[in-house]
Structure 1
Amino acid sequence: MNVAVRFQHRMGEQPEKTAIVDAGGAEVTYGDLDRQTRQVAAWLDAQGLGGGDRVAVYLPDTATYLPVVLGIWRAGAIASPINTRFGVDELAYTLGDLEPAALLGSDAFADTIDDLHDEVDGLDPSNTLLVEREGGFVADDLPAADAAPDPARRLDDEPAVVMYTSGTTGRPKGVVQTHRNVGAQLDVNVTAFGVTRADTSVVAVPLFHVGGLYGGALPVLLAGGTIVVQPAWDATEWADLVDAHGATFTGLIPTMMLDALNTEATREYDTSSLERAVYGGSPATEETLDTFQQVFEVGALHNYYGQTENTGLSVTYDADTDRRPGLLGRPVQAVEYRVVDVTADELVDVGPNEEGELVLRGDIITPGYWDESLDADYFTDGWLHTDDVVREDEDGLLYYVDRADDMIISGGENVAPSEVENALQEHPSVEAVAVFGTPHERWGEAVTAAIVAADPDLTDEGIEEWWETNAGLAGYKRPRRVEFVEEFPRTATQKVDKVTLKEQLGE
């Protein structure tokens, strides 16, 4: 069933209630949300789009984001949220891979969109609409709401979203999320965290992420509550929004939690209304969690373990579970799971308290990638490889151990070392480079570059200056730590021995 039908029912049920509030205080009622959703669907219908056409969503985090996604679904098209932190090269690759039939954007990104018209075949002003201007929904440039078609008939296994995530190859991978995936994910969030129409959620995680869209925003709207959209992360503003709106729910990555703790001004606001807060995206220390819960008077903290391939939440724990180091929780009811030997060629289960890779299948798990050639690398007999090493205790609780590959998770964002290495290798004074993650209190992991310099006068400041104008990658992929070495330790097969290199450099 088309996910849009679920929301149509809720919008018609309580048209006068506030659905969305932006950071400036402007309110969008459920009736407004319904009209805007219909206008987006009417524009797409007028363009002859629907029936599985891909529509790129290139918007900042504002109230406009939600009716755009819902309108795309209503028209029967496939929404593709675009990472607004990508550089032009990454955007061009992503859109070239997606081949969207239209792009719905914001005047905040007008210059970049003009560049993309030159870079991406098939994308031009005729199929691009700036549906947001100066942070507001542009109703006057869209057809009237009554011109909207009825919600298109879409079956459970048909795609609702193609969401891109960076993979180990360094290129963004398009993950297909079906209407069943999305609907089940929303149900999982509502039931796992007890979301009701009485809830107000401050959405601080980007809406192009599963955590923002399916974690903080859509479940609350589906339940009939209110969401407050923060346009960009600022710890003081987050605390202010919680206080001003009496927020009962929020989601943060550990980096944000540390920011809030390290910003004195956040203590000036009353955040005791928070009944639940979820955290995920990267490992968090027990000290950080305990201090955050105490300082901001949060009723309960819940881990949010999920991936784009899982459409978001797949493992968590309830308020009655005692938190302990590394605890992820139990897999949600929408998945089956196994913990398997990472060294075996086939799926072989390991025993209690033994380390193994978590593999999943079920209602929330993607049927595969937009580029189907990738499927064989990530699925075995219908089980999705998460590349995360966990252990399961006798009570069925899962604990995070480490990544099965070299992926760096910095501030909740995936960074492929090979991509950063390739960029830095273009520097004329870099002879060789190895990139990996090292522990960082704020970011979880810091992108660290070990460099063999061709020029002895090369400095880390020189690397940073060069990166700003030449790398062409998202800012979160910038090396936060640069170390110069004479040579790299190597394995017997002459590969760079990153394990030994990390040990040599220390934390």
Structure 2
Amino acid sequence: MSGLTVGHVARRNARKFPDQEATIHRSDGRRVSSYTYEEFETRVNRVANGLSTLGVGAGDTVALYMKNNVETLECFVGAMLIGARPVAVNHRFKGSEVRYVLDDSDPTVAILDSFGAETISEIHDDPLVPVETFLSVGEQPPQFTTPYEQFLEDASDAAIDIVPDRRDQAALMYTSGTTGRPKGCRFTHDTLLSLATDGVYEGDHLEPGNRHLIVTPLFHVGAFVPFVTNLYVGGTTVVTDGFDPERVLQLLEDESINSSYFVPTQSRRLLSVDDVDAYDLSALESYGTGAAPSGAELKRDVMKTFGTDLVESFGQTEALATRLPPERTIEKADSVGRPSLNLEMKVVDDDGNRLPPGEVGRAAYSGPTVFDGYHNMPEKTDEVFDDGWFVSDDRIERDEEGFVYFVGRADDMIVSGGENVHPAEIEEVIYEHPAVDEVAVIGVPDETWGERIKAVVVPDADATELQAADIISHVEERIAGYKKPRAVEFRSELPRNPTGKVLKTELE
């Protein structure tokens, strides 16, 4: 063994914290299951031994097509113990999308739950699906599957030799596929544990016994990495499937949650609960956010309402890049923070030349927290790496203190009247309007300007009188006039892909 792996962390916790709760599953307002670290290790060993019996070994993949549950966490670690790579498939994907990921990642074993049973039933015997054994979590498993608990019962709980070292591949996480087919990002144990140290020492300040709630889906790095981080410190991980704001608030109170992560849309829904102040959230110490712009007003509301530190993070599946420290949240409300502890970052032009502070360019990353390349895509991997630096399509700028400001995706740029306009900047301003729940800014063809700016707005539920002129004047008062929307469309919701990202290609 060379260096610490995720499997070693789980085994260490069973020795140091045997009676502490390791995992808890909450659903429909109640506990479905919970396991101590000693019990978690036993179940993880059974997963590892059971997979070995099925012929899974180092370098193989194991697919997980489930909503959030503790079985997913067990399978993450159990597969890693024997050097296999878990692949969490987006549970919102439909048949053709699931088939693509399974074909690309090539697992011989897949675990599904009752939620995914219908989709898998449609494709399980498809020639493109390489899976030989299906395991099923929950009641009424499909006939072609083996019940997960039976699989565990039949497997040995003996401790096994942990075969990988920290430089070996540990997991595949697929991108959302907003610009084509989802890409499988390779993570090593070193990547995951380096990300964990980032989380512990920058912003979150987690300690043994920390109780972390995961409400975002585990197929996403925004949930998977916090699980590894909480495991790293010997914390209790609470998972829940689905998002109901009242139930989440009650769960935060009932389970004395110390830390959690919410995307901005979830934050707005939590804040909209009528009696939000009635919940006892005194245990909550760290409130994470990211994945989309929050806006200064939302950040202030979260900190005031929940009485907690707010830690904003920024990045993508390939590289979780920056954190905004809580003590600078208000002062630097428009920023997404500074580069994380284990990451180097620079801003480059389209030719790869480093740009000085204040200039907009592409974000480039280097360090142990950057992904290890794309699975089955060597040409794409070579395309995005330049002399060891991963060069992203995210456009950013940095100030003299090194704080990063997200400007937009390279392919989102609007060119209006010869001026480059970044939608993210306008979206940030519109989000500050108290009557706006969600917004997406796009460019639409215009004979005079080339492109004109359009804002697609989802009003707050109580904003019955919001007008287009209100949005336009709100923007014009705060940033340059050429950046104001020339058109505003109101919708009840924004189109999203299965990962939850807004599909701007479907807005016109």
TM-score of the alignment, normalized to the shorter chain, above 0.5: yes
Match in the other structure for 1:304:
313
Distance 1:202 1:474, change over 3 A: closer
2:58 to 51, 60, 63: 51
Answer yes or no: is 1:210 the counterpart of 2:217: no
Residue by residue over 1:450-469, the C-alpha shift from the partner in whole angstroms, topping out at 9 and shown as x without a partner, is xxxxxxxxxx9xxx9xxx9x
Partner residue, 1:187: 197
Matches within 5 A, 1:428-467: 438=456
**Match of 1:21?**
24
Superposition CA RMSD, Å: 3.3
Q: What's 1:350 paired with?
A: 355
TM-score using structure 2 length: 0.77
Q: For the residues of structure 1 that align with 2:195 and 2:329, how far apart are their CA atoms? A: 25
Counterpart pick for 2:210 among 199, 202, 221 = 199
Query: Following TM superposition, by how much is the alpha carbon of 1:141 offset from its aligned partner in structure 2, in angstroms?
Result: 2.8
Please give the alpha-carbon distance, in whole angstroms, between the structure 2 residues aligned to 1:197 and 1:353.
40
Identity of aligned residues (%): 27
Matched residues in 2 for 1:480 and 1:259: separation?
22
Q: 1:476 to 1:184 in 2, by over 3 A?
A: closer
> In the alignment, what sits opposite 2:484?
none
Cα distance, 1:131 vs. partner? 4.2
Q: CA deviation at 1:306?
A: 2.4
User: Within 1, Cα distance between the matches of 2:109 and 2:334?
Assistant: 43
The answer to whether structure 1 residue 243 and structure 2 residue 288 are counterparts is no
Task: Determine the structure 2 residue equivalent to 1:395.
Answer: 401
Question: Which residue number corresponds to residue 333 of structure 1?
Answer: 341
Q: Deviations over 1:165-196 (max 9, x none)?
A: 13453211111111111121122112222111
Classify the secondary structure of the residue corresponding to 2:412.
coil
Amino acid at match of 1:230: T
1:366: which partner in 2?
Answer: 371
User: 2-side partners of 1:237 and 1:191: how far apart?
Assistant: 30
Q: Which residue of 1 aligns with 2:475?
A: none
Q: Is the 8 A contact 1:328 1:398 kept in 2?
A: yes
Q: Is the 8 A contact 2:199 2:229 kept in 1?
A: yes
Pairwise CA distance, 1:314 = 2.2
Rounded Cα–Cα distance in structure 1 between residues aligned with 2:499 and 2:179: 18
C-alpha separation between the residues in 2 aligned to 1:185 and 1:348? 27
Equivalent AA in structure 2 for residue 208 of structure 1: F
Q: Secondary structure at the match of 1:118?
A: coil
Matching of residue 74 in structure 1 with residue 81 in structure 2: yes
Q: C-alpha displacement at 1:134, in angstroms?
A: 7.9
SS in 2 for 1:284: coil
Alpha-carbon distance between aligned partners in 2 of 1:440 and 1:157, rounded to the nearest angstrom: 45
How do 1:1-400 residues align onto structure 2 when only pairs under 5 Å count? Answer: 1=3, 2-23=5-26, 24-25=30-31, 26-119=33-126, 121-124=128-131, 126-133=132-139, 138-143=148-153, 146-148=156-158, 150-167=160-177, 169-192=179-202, 193-215=204-226, 217-298=227-308, 300-310=309-319, 313-323=320-330, 324-341=332-349, 343=350, 345=351, 347-370=352-375, 371-400=377-406
Distance 1:482 1:13, change over 3 A: closer
Whichever residue aligns with residue 130 of structure 1, its letter is S
Find the aligned partners of 1:378 and 1:11 in 2 and give their Cα distance. Answer: 40
Match of residue 494 from structure 1: none
Tell me, in whole angstroms, the C-alpha distance in 1 between the residues paired with 2:69 and 2:127. 26
Match of 1:474 in 2: 498
The structural deviation recorded for 1:440 is: 5.3
- C-alpha separation in 1, matches of 2:121 and 2:502: 25
Once the two structures are TM-superposed, the CA of residue 97 in structure 1 deviates from its matched residue by 1.1
Deviations 1:420-476 (A, max 9, x none): xxxxxxxxxxxxxxxx9846578xxxxxxxxxxxxxxxxx9xxx9xxx9xx9x7395
1:206–1:221 distance in 2 versus 1, CA, 3 Å: same
Asked whether the 8 Å contact 1:64–1:132 carries over to 2, the reply is: no
CA distance in 2, matches of 1:9, 1:437: 52
CA distance in 2, matches of 1:400, 1:14: 41
CA contact (8 A) 1:5 1:151 kept: no
Alignment partners' CA distance in 1, 2:128 and 2:329 = 53
SS in 1 for 2:70: coil
Conserved? CA contact 1:240–1:266, under 8 Å: no
Match of residue 500 from structure 1: none
Deviation, structure 1 residue 222: 2.0
> Structure 1 residues 134, 213: closer, same or farther in 2, change over 3 A?
farther
**Secondary structure of 2:92's match?**
coil
Gaps of 5+ in 2: 142-146, 414-422, 432-439, 443-453, 461-488
Q: Secondary structure at the match of 1:304?
A: strand
Q: Which amino acid aligns with 1:161?
A: A
Cα distance in 2 for partners of 1:115, 1:235 equals 33
CA distance in 2, matches of 1:439, 1:388: 23
Counterpart CA distance in 1 for 2:90 and 2:293 is: 22
The superposition leaves residues 54-78 of structure 1 with CA deviations (integer Å, 9 ceiling, x where unpaired) of 1111121012211111000112111
Instruction: Find the aligned partners of 2:220 and 2:158 in 1 and give their Cα distance.
Output: 28
Q: Give the conservation status (yes or no) of the 8 Å contact 1:36–1:145.
A: no
- The 2-side partners of 1:89 and 1:105 are apart by 16
The 8 Å contact of residues 99 and 129 in structure 2, kept in 1 or not, is answered as no
C-alpha distance after superposition, 1:321-347 (max 9, x if no partner)? 243232111111211111112x4x2x2
Deviation at 1:386, TM superposition (A): 2.2
The 8 Å contact of residues 302 and 318 in structure 1, kept in 2 or not, is answered as yes
Contact 1:35 1:145 in 2 (8 A): no
Give the Å deviation of 1:138.
Answer: 4.0
SS of the residue 1:239 aligns to: helix
Aligned length in residues: 431
- Residue aligned with 1:19, SS: strand
Question: CA 1:132 to 1:8, structure 2 compared with 1: closer, same or farther past 3 Å?
Answer: farther
SS at match of 1:327: coil
- Structure 1: how far apart are the matches of 2:88 and 2:101? 11
* 8 A Cα contact 1:302 1:316, kept in partner: yes
Query: Over residues 361-407 of structure 1, what are the superposed CA-to-partner deviations in whole Å (9 max), with x where a residue is unaligned?
Result: 11011121002221133221221122212211111211222222239
Q: Gaps spanning 5+ residues in structure 1: where?
A: 418-435, 443-459, 485-507
Amino acid at match of 2:207: T
Deviation per CA, 1:32-84: give whole Å up to 9, x if none.
11111011101111012111101111121012211111000112111111111
Q: 1:391 to 1:212 in 2, by over 3 A?
A: same
